[in-house]
Amino acid sequence: MFLILEHEESEGPGIFQSVLYERGRVFKRIKLFTGESIPDAKNIEGVLMMGGPMNVYEESAYPFLAEESHFLKYCLGNGIPVLGICLGAQLIAKAAGAKIKKAPEKELGWYEVRLTTAGLLDPLLGDCAKTFPIFQFHEDTFDIPLGAVHIIDAPVCPHQGFRIGNNVYAIQFHLEATREMIADWVADQGDIKANILEDTEQNIASCHRYGKEFFAKFLSLCR
Q: What is the CATH number of the domain that holds 180?
A: 3.40.50.880
Q: How far apart are CA 53 and CA 188, in angstroms?
A: 14
Residue ranges making up the domain that contains 112: 2-219
Contacting residues for 57 by C-beta, under 8 A, at least 6 apart: 100
Question: How confident is the model over 48-57, as pLDDT tens digits?
Answer: 999 999 999 9
Residue 127 pLDDT greater than 90, yes or no: no
Q: Are 1 and 43 in contact (CB under 8 A)?
A: yes
Q: Beta strand pairing status for 27-31 and 2-6?
A: parallel
Q: How far apart are CA 84 and CA 62, in angstroms?
A: 18
| Structural domain count of the chain | 1
DSSP conformation letters of 83-128: EEETHHHHHHHHHTT--EEEEEEEEEEEEEEEE-HHHHT-TTSTTS
Residue 6 pLDDT greater than 90, yes or no: yes
Q: What is the pTM of this model?
A: 0.97
Q: Are 80 and 99 in contact (CB under 8 A)?
A: no
Helix (H) or strand (E) holding 49: strand 46-49
Q: pLDDT band for position 160 (50/70/90)? A: very high
Give the catalytic positions in this structure: 86, 174, 176
